């Protein structure tokens, strides 16, 4: 039995870095064991105070802690204290709020100013209360007009200090004409606008009078049918009534509608697909595609059930690790996984076979992923599909192969679809 071929994608061991020179460990006065001389600190776990103290002695991100960090920090603190650069003197008393002052102890001019402001505020509040009571007794239409006028006035001359906003919902008038008239006759506050008079009622319609003797009502005009719609375009390839050829190209993109769909299965595709489905494990439906004028030939094969599930398992792991963001990137990564495993071989005219696919469980990788899909994608994009144009061409060929498989799957229960291809041998 021939030995199975394997694809080793494990990373090569790297030469370990030289050991750092030994340093004398001395407890730093800043904090616990994380501040040891010669240690490279992670800035994410430093408090603002600790970072400030370390930067004051010349420490930078990625550099080790100096061996005499505690002595340097102490010297910087003593120097700052000696130069008097502290933000607040050490003997500054705590902040206390001043005691309230009785208004009677203020100067007479200040007392008069405060009393006038208090009186003015009280008058303004009283005026607002009176206006609200007066508007409440008005007809709803008039009250709404007054409210709109007040809003315009306040917008043009906004009051200082206090702003009153009427946020009550407006109710549509429900009262009859007689009630509205009686309500409008109530006394209004001085200065309020007069209500608009009600609109006059339309005159009653005239009563039809009998015509003279022998008079007949004129007959209505004859019914004219609406103009008929123009006849629809003839089907593709058929002849119209005028003898012209029907639509042969898409009116939007000029695509040749008579061109065969490359994803339509032929009788040979149906036979190969049926034999692969009935042959059992180890057999897949495959098809060869020619690209770039026949200079590149790619063989695509159908995925096994385990490979399809493994691709979904890997993309779910990528989402959990925040490696993909958004539906577009999620779908593109999943299609990359499926395409790389569906490529059975790649041949180049004059060069030979440049790539030959293997089973997923025969790929060895040590990148820490659940499956070998990420390592296989990186290998193909680096060593085989090295340019974007080649990757897109191979990807478009795979999408056509995928649509072919989907059409075969969709017609699995259509008896007429499989007639005429003969029995598999």
pLDDT at 321 over 60: yes
More reliable by pLDDT, 188 or 397 = 397
Each domain of the chain, given as residue ranges in start order, spans 22-83, 267-418
The pTM of the whole model exceeds 0.75: no
Give the separation between CA 121 and CA 364, rounded to whole angstroms.
Answer: 85
In DSSP terms, 301 is beta-bridged to 286
Q: What is the mean pLDDT of residues 312-329?
A: 88
Among 15, 50, 14, which Cα is nearest to 34's?
A: 50
Residue 298, pLDDT score: 94
Judged by average pLDDT, the poorest of 116-125, 154-163, 216-225, 343-352 is 154-163
The overall average pLDDT reported for the chain is: 75
Residue 173 corresponds to which tokens in the numbers above?
A: 């008038």
Of the two residues 80 and 339, the one the predictor is more confident about is 339
Residue 29 has pLDDT above 50, yes or no: no
3-state SS, residue 121: helix
Please indicate whether residue 90 or residue 347 has the higher confidence score (pLDDT): 347
Q: What is the mean pLDDT of residues 197-221?
A: 71
Examine the pLDDT at 301 and tell me if it is beyond 70. yes
pLDDT of residue 422 exceeding 70: no
Beta strand pairing call for 363-364 and 7-8:
parallel
Neighbour tally for 36: CB within 10 Å: 17
Query: Is residue 348 over pLDDT 80?
Result: yes
pLDDT at 387 over 70: yes
Residues 6+ apart with CB under 8 A from 320: none
Between helix 373-383 and helix 305-320 the angle, nearest 10°, is: 90
How many CA atoms lie less than 13 Å away from 333 in the CB half-sphere? 21
Q: Which of 251, 254, 230, 250 is nearest to 240 (CA)?
A: 230
Percent of the chain with pLDDT over 70: 68
**DSSP assignments along 263-290, one per residue:** TSPPHHHHHHHHHHHHH-TT---EEEEE
- 8 A C-beta contact, residue 420 and residue 266: no
């Amino acid at each position: 039995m021939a030995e199975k071929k394997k694809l080793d994608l494990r990373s090569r061991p790297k030469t370990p870095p030289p050991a750092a020179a030994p340093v004398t460990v001395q407890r730093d006065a800043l904090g616990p064991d994380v501040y040891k001389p010669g240690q490279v600190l992670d800035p994410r776990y430093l408090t603002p105070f600790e970072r400030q103290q370390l930067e004051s002695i010349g420490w930078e991100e990625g550099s080790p802690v100096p061996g005499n960090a505690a002595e340097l920090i102490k010297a910087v603190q003593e120097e700052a204290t000696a130069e008097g650069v502290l933000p607040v003197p050490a003997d500054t008393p705590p902040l206390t709020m001043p005691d309230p002052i009785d208004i009677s102890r203020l100067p007479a001019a200040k007392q008069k100013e405060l009393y006038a402001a208090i009186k003015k505020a009280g008058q303004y509040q009283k005026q607002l209360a009176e206006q609200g009571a007066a508007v409440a007794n008005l007809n709803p239409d008039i009250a709404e007009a007054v409210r709109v006028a007040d809003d315009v006035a306040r917008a043009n001359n906004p009051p200082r200090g206090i702003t009153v906003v009427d946020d009550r919902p407006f109710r549509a008038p429900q009262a009859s004409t007689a009630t509205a008239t009686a309500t409008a006759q109530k006394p209004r506050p001085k200065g309020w606008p007069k209500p608009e008079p009600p609109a006059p009622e339309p005159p009653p319609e005239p009563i039809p009078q009998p015509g003279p003797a022998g008079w007949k009502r004129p007959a209505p005009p004859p019914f004219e049918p609406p103009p008929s719609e123009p006849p629809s375009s003839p089907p593709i390839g058929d002849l119209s009534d005028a003898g012209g050829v029907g639509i042969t190209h898409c009116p939007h993109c000029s695509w040749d509608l008579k061109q065969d769909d490359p994803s339509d299965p032929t009788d040979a595709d149906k036979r190969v697909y049926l034999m692969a489905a009935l042959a059992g494990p180890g057999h897949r439906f495959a098809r060869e595609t020619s690209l770039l004028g026949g200079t590149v030939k790619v063989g695509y094969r159908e995925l096994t059930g385990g490979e399809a599930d493994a691709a979904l398992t890997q993309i779910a792991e990528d989402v959990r690790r925040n490696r993909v963001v958004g539906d577009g990137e999620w779908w593109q990564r999943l299609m990359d996984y499926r395409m790389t495993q569906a490529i059975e071989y790649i041949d180049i005219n004059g060069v030979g076979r440049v790539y030959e696919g293997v089973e997923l469980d025969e790929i060895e990788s040590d990148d820490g992923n659940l499956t070998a899909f990420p390592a296989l994608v990186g290998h193909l994009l680096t060593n085989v599909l090295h340019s974007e144009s080649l990757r897109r061409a191979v990807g478009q060929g795979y999408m056509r192969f995928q649509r072919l498989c989907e059409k075969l799957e969709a017609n699995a229960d259509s008896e007429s679809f499989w007639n005429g291809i003969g029995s598999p041998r």
